Structure 1
Amino acid sequence: MLLARSRLWLLLLGALLTVLLYLLFPAARRSRPDEGKRGWRVGNGTVLTGMTASDPPVFYREVPAGAAGPGRPQVLFLHGQAFTSKTWETLGTLALLAEEGYRAVAIDLPGYGDSPPAHMVTAEGRRNFLDRVLQDLSMQRPVLVSPSMSGRFALPFLLAQGDRLAGFVPIAPVGTKDYTAEQYQRVQTPTLILYGDRDKRLAPQALQNLQHLPEHRVAVLPGAGHACYLDKPEDFHRALLRFLSQLK
């Protein structure tokens, strides 16, 4: 009888320890330096996600690249008002660039996706935000892809620190009329002005202003609207990869 009771107490104690370890282990993981970073299988790669240390913190996602070719630039994707970093994962853009040996990262801008809101009312504040993101993600001279609303972040950075970018891909961004032809002409960053021919509002305005960039080329996606990368993803990927391959 005494032996049976002893075994019962040992079983109860073991169960209690198991519950305690289950409750405490996640807390221990959250205290590690790679806090918030996680990954899961998708298609032919693993999507890594996490939060940068920026103030405010920024959610990002990427697919680890394969064997990178010599001198291949990294690529940072911003997004439009109706989208998030998830767009570039769902579209297959991150996985495609990873297969080609590029490190490609997509972020959620403040107040979108998993990134908390932030009060950024000045161009300088948005420029400094991108500066911190590049530092947090250890991205040296990336190519910056900027659709629509994200132009409010990308353009101030381009005009102030264009030498820190290996290339710029504006996709009908907003805010191009806020700067003069002389300001654009001082930028030497290789640029691919990309848009859909059915975008009759922002695309013509962006082209009118961005064509003052000395090192620009233009790619028009036939039959595509404002979010041309969604309408014609294969054409978009082809134009982007061609531009990336031509960068020194």
Structure 2
Amino acid sequence: MAETSRVIFVHGLGDSPASWAQQISTLPAAWEGVAIDVPGLGAAGEGAFSLERAARRVVEAMDERGWREAVLCGLSLGAMIALRAAVDFPERVRGLVLAAGQVRPPRALLRVQNALIRVLPARAVASGGVDKSRILSAARAVMHVDFGPDLARIACPTLVLCGSRDRANLPASRRLAAEIPGARLAILEGAGHQSNTQSPESFSAELNRFLGGPAGWTPGGPDRR
């Protein structure tokens, strides 16, 4: 019997674990997946959001299930959390799928967005059950993030995904693929920022190819091409 391998899915700001339903339901037979909540984006009692805390939560999710390692698949803010986990806990991260990720978020744009969010009514800002204060907290937390010095140290197989219409994240996706050793870039035609729900079949096809398809890597031996 083939050994089971695992994927942890990490959602973006304004999304929820349910956004990964298509990808989890269509994983290759040798794989199982779980989508986790991101700490700091829910109830007020969770405390402020931080990438480091969220990355630790990913590892805690593995520990709770008795998993030694997992592939991490994240979208947008979730991709940054997955990348943080790979930097901080490399021995626990078997592979990375980074969708609509960032290396160094554009600070000028974030400042403009934050200023706009502050003056808008709460009901106009809240998304996916995340209130205005939580959105601002997450935006502040990523304001000064710069993964640039860390990319060359990523040693696990990596797939970078981005929607062809996600123009704000295409440059960063190309940089991630260029600077993470052995990473592969796949552009999902016609998809925007939330490519896992906007083009779920294409997203799953690329993910599954990476995990175990004919040109991908199998649980028994990663292929870094």
Normalising to structure 1: TM-score of the pair? Answer: 0.63
**In structure 1, C-alpha distance between the alignment counterparts of 2:45 and 2:185, rounded to whole Å:** 34
1:94 to 8, 15, 24: 24
Mind listing any 5+ residue stretches in structure 2 that lack a counterpart? 106-144
CA distance in 1 between counterparts of 2:3 and 2:44 reads 34
CA distance in 1: counterparts of 2:35 and 2:180, whole angstroms: 25
Higher relative contact order (CA 8 A, sep 6+): 2
Structure 1 pair 79–235 and aligned structure 2 pair: CA distance change class (3 A): same
Matched, 1:193 2:160: yes
1:76, CA displacement in angstroms?
A: 0.5
> Which of 107, 131, 135 is the equivalent residue of 2:36?
107
Cα contact 1:184–1:210 (8 A) shared by 2: no
Partner of 1:212: 179
CA distance in 1, matches of 2:184, 2:68: 23
Cα pair 1:110 1:117 within 8 Å, conserved: no
Q: d(CA) in 1 for partners of 2:45 and 2:79?
A: 18
Shift of 1:152: 4.1
Are 2:202 and 1:235 equivalent residues in the alignment?
Answer: yes
Q: What count of residue pairs does the alignment treat as equivalent?
A: 176
The CA RMSD over aligned residues, in Å, is: 2.3
**SS of residue matched to 1:75:** strand
Shift of 1:155: 2.1
Secondary structure of the structure 1 residue equivalent to 2:174: helix
SS of the aligned residue for 2:203 comes to helix
Other-structure match for 1:184: 151
SS of the residue corresponding to residue 200 of structure 1 reads: coil
Structure 1 CA distance, aligned partners of 2:8 and 2:104? Answer: 20
Distance 1:138 1:193, change over 3 A: same
5+ long unaligned stretches in structure 1: 1-68
What residue number does 2:74 align with?
146
Residue 150 of structure 1 and its aligned partner are, at CA, apart by: 1.7
**Alignment partner of 1:119 is 2:47:** yes
Structure 2 counterpart of 1:134? 62
- What per-residue deviation string (whole Å, max 9, x for no partner) do you get for residues 88-145 of structure 1? 22xx222222x623111011212557x7752245443333222222211222221100
The CA deviation string for residues 12-53 of structure 1, in whole angstroms up to 9 with x for no partner, is: xxxxxxxxxxxxxxxxxxxxxxxxxxxxxxxxxxxxxxxxxx
- What secondary structure is seen at the aligned counterpart in 2 of 1:198? coil
Checking the alignment, whether the CA contact within 8 Å between 1:78 and 1:145 is kept in structure 2 is yes
Q: Which amino acid aligns with 2:161?
A: L
Question: Identity of counterpart residues, as a percentage?
Answer: 27
The letter for the 1-side match of 2:83 is L
In the aligned structure 2, how far is the partner of 1:151 from the partner of 1:111? 16
**Cα shift at 1:154:** 1.8
